[in-house]
């Protein structure tokens, strides 16, 4: 587990997810074609490595790549997908038991896991799913992180400066006076302010975050949230 976290921080989320998919495919094929007990052990070991990598890298990637308003739902889909996979495995086992011979039953059941793994690999290889923008920013690759945010969210991605901070947070002080002077639409202003503040925290390199305090400013009709770093 600790080794996975090290590789996750050192090499990024995308390579680990691709490696997990490769382990899934290799393990499933080894189990389906296993000529001996040793190959069964090798296949199970490869599948175990795939499960270990994906169970950590995939939720982190989903959380960092999804928009703030959809983040909870997107990460929850990961858990739903696990349950759906278990249900699909039961269906495959029932069909294999009813239609195949004794040798074919367990081989098809164990080898069928390669199909969703191939879809995972196709998503990153063929459709070009990018690296996590937060990881890119934490490695000082702010321009790449901004491009990824623009690709994933269809806009400027909030803008990330060369120091890894969100450009929306740098313009916060300049626009605060105009927001305070307008009473109409204060709800949308507050929503934008909260999103920019938390987006700034999201894209900060982990070493630069430090201790963060949340302060409320203004009255009930027009308030904002400020992240104060110590």
What's the whole-model pTM score? 0.65
Q: Return the pLDDT at 160.
A: 52
Phi, psi of 226 (to 5 degrees): -125, 135
Following DSSP, what letter does each residue of 190-219 receive, concatenated? HHHHHHHHHHHHHHS-HHHH-SEEEEEEE-
Q: Return the pLDDT at 196.
A: 52
Per residue in 144-198, pLDDT tens? 988 888 888 765 445 554 444 444 444 444 444 444 444 444 444 444 544 554 4
Q: Return the pLDDT at 100.
A: 87
Domains of the chain, by residue range, sit at 2-129, 134-229
Alpha-helical runs (H) found in the chain:
2-11, 13-32, 37-65, 71-99, 102-111, 114-125, 133-138, 142-153, 167-170, 172-181, 186-203, 206-209
Q: Which CATH number fits domain 2-129: 1.20.120.160, 2.30.30.60, 3.40.50.150, 1.20.1250.20?
A: 1.20.1250.20
Q: Which two tokens stand for residue 74?
A: 């997107």
Q: Return the pLDDT at 76.
A: 92
Run of H or E including 225: strand 223-229
Segments of the chain with pLDDT less than 70: 1-2, 154-230
Q: How many CA atoms lie within 13 A of 203 on its CB side?
A: 34
| Residues contacting residue 75 through CB under 8 Å, at least 6 positions apart | 59, 62, 63, 66
CA separation for the pair 119, 109 (Å, rounded): 18
Closest to 138 measured CA to CA, from 206, 187, 184:
206
């Amino acid at each position: 587990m600790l080794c996975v976290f090290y590789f996750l921080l050192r090499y990024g989320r995308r390579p680990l997810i691709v490696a997990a998919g490769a382990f899934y495919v290799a393990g499933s094929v080894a189990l389906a074609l296993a000529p001996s007990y040793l190959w069964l052990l090798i296949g199970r070991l490869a599948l175990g490595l795939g499960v270990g990598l994906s169970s950590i890298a995939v939720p982190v990637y989903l959380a960092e790549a999804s928009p703030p308003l959809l983040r909870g739902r997107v990460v929850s889909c990961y858990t739903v997908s696990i349950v759906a996979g278990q249900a699909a495995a039961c269906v495959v086992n029932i069909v294999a038991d009813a239609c195949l011979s004794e040798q074919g039953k367990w081989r098809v059941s164990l080898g069928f896991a390669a199909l969703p793994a191939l879809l995972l690999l196709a998503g990153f290889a063929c459709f070009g799913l990018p690296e996590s923008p937060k990881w890119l920013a934490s490695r000082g690759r702010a321009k790449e992180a901004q491009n990824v945010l623009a690709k994933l969210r269809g806009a400027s991605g909030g803008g990330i400066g060369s120091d890894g901070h969100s450009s929306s947070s740098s313009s916060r002080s300049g626009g605060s006076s105009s927001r305070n002077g307008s009473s109409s639409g204060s709800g949308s202003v507050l929503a934008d302010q909260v999103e920019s503040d938390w987006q700034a925290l999201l894209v900060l390199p982990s070493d630069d975050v430090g201790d963060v305090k949340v302060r409320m400013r203004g009255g009930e009709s027009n308030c904002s949230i400020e992240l104060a770093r110590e």
